[in-house]
Amino acid sequence: MPKVLDGATIAAEIKQDVAEEVKALAARGVKPGLAVVQVGHVPASEIYVRNKVQTSKELGFLSEHITPAETVTTEEMLALIATLNAREDIDGILVQLPLPKQVDAKVLLDAIAPEKDVDGFHPVNAGRLQAGRQALAPCTPAGVIEILKRSGIPISGANAVVVGRSDIVGKPAAMLLLHENATVTICHSKTRDLGAVTRQADILVAAIGRPGFITPDMVKPGATIIDVGINRIDTREEFDKFFKGNDKREAAFAKRGSVLVGDVHPAAFEVSGAYTPVPGGVGLLTIAMLMANTVRAAKIRRGM
Ligand SMILES: Nc1nc(=O)c2c([nH]1)NC[C@@H]1CN(c3ccc(C(=O)N[C@@H](CCC(=O)O)C(=O)O)cc3)C=[N+]21
């Protein structure tokens, strides 16, 4: 039976560590400050943002939830970011994605002061990460490394295969794995004979954004699978592709009319030695690492 790498347990450990650091900072008169900017009402953003704001409050941060209207302009957003950049009490700025189409997301993300960029999306942080300098790394890939380390899965010397090359997940995950001395391969939609490559993986990171894309034949028996995908399934046909005969998921589907599935087909997990479930895996780590990044940003920026 494969081992389930429980995101909730590991996230709780990280948050415990962050809480200790917050206590030590408080003794020195410092409170980490996080500003979460949420534009308009993207249904998917509601849960995530609520979770981020709530967690930062629980940990004793100064927490600000800023909610510009759906109709906000790029100029207005730039003015907001300039204000947050200048504020002494704010250590981290997060602009929740996606943004409405009249707002130029790239221009905005590039305007966030790199030392306050707790998402690790700024090109300066991407460059620092790749150059092996002190950097704020993107939260999801940082969470992937934490899961592996805290679960005692050896990274050094392992064959790590990352499927997906996004700037937010795939690329930085590959870089972080490389820094941990894995032998890293990045695959994508043009990769020839993808299964032959993924079957070499001791650590398989799935960050494609397509439900159940990784099938059992693509997995080396005993491999560790980290499933980064979060896809909502809301038709019976799709449901049956992944969860036919699964009573627990059936109940969830009946209750809410939808369920989440990762980028890995549930049957592929059965071939693995250990895997992160969806939900309850990497997503929870993303939030915990945002908290860790904010404390780190506070310490660096305040010279501590
Ligand atoms: N600037 C920015 N930074 C982000 O980090 C960012 C973003 N924009 N836009 C959207 C994505 C998505 N994201 C998630 C965070 C937590 C869960 C999470 O907690 N998931 C839980 C619950 C999932 C559920 O029940 O819906 C789980 O996987 O178990 C998922 C996804 C952060 N993102």
Residue of minimum CA distance from atom 16 in ligand 1? 283
Query: Does residue 234 contact residue 227 with C-beta atoms inside 8 Å?
Result: no
Q: Pick from 201, 194, 143: which is nearest to 172 by CA?
A: 143
Model pLDDT, residue 190: 97
Reported CATH class of domain 139-285: alpha beta
Q: Pick from 113, 90, 116: which is nearest to 32 by CA?
A: 90
Distance 303 CA to ligand 1 centre (A): 30
The pocket around ligand 1, CB under 6 angstroms, is made up of: 47-48, 51, 94-97, 119, 139, 230, 260, 278-281, 283-284, 286-287
Show me where the domains of the chain are located: 29-113, 139-285
Give the pLDDT band (50/70/90) at residue 185: very high
Distance 35 CA to ligand 1 centre (A): 16
52 counts as catalytic: yes
Which residue among the candidates 15, 38, 91, 96 is catalytic per the annotation? 96
Please check the confidence at residue 232 and state whether its pLDDT lies above 90: yes
* ipTM of the complex in this document: 0.94
96 counts as catalytic: yes
Please check the confidence at residue 163 and state whether its pLDDT lies above 90: yes
| Fold observed for domain 29-113 | Rossmann fold (3.40.50)
Q: Tell me: the pLDDT tens digits for 69-104?
A: 999 999 999 999 999 999 999 999 999 999 999 999
Model pLDDT, residue 157: 98
- Where are the strands (E) in 52-190, listed by range? 62-66, 92-95, 159-163, 183-187
Task: Determine the average pLDDT of the residues in 115-125.
Answer: 98
Distance 285 CA to ligand 1 centre (A): 9
- The pTM assigned to this predicted structure is 0.97
Q: Which atom of ligand 1 is nearest to the CA of 138?
A: 5
| Cβ-based neighbours of 174, under 8 Å, separated by 6 or more | 160, 162, 184, 186
Q: Which atom of ligand 1 is nearest to the CA of 98?
A: 9
Query: Does residue 112 contact residue 138 with C-beta atoms inside 8 Å?
Result: no
116 counts as catalytic: no
Q: What is d(CA 260, CA 246) in angstroms, rounded to the nearest whole number?
A: 13
In this chain, the answer to whether the domains covering 29-113 and 139-285 adopt an identical fold is yes
Query: Does residue 59 contact residue 287 with C-beta atoms inside 8 Å?
Result: no
Residue of minimum CA distance from atom 3 in ligand 1? 96
Task: Identify the residue whose tokens are 């409170």.
Answer: 31
Query: Does residue 211 contact residue 263 with C-beta atoms inside 8 Å?
Result: yes
Most distant CA atoms of the chain, gap in Å: 57
Which residue among the candidates 91, 117, 119, 263 is catalytic per the annotation? 119
CA dihedral in degrees (47, 53, 59, 61; nearest 10)? 170
Percent of the chain with pLDDT over 90: 99
Distance 46 CA to ligand 1 centre (A): 10
Give the pLDDT band (50/70/90) at residue 44: confident
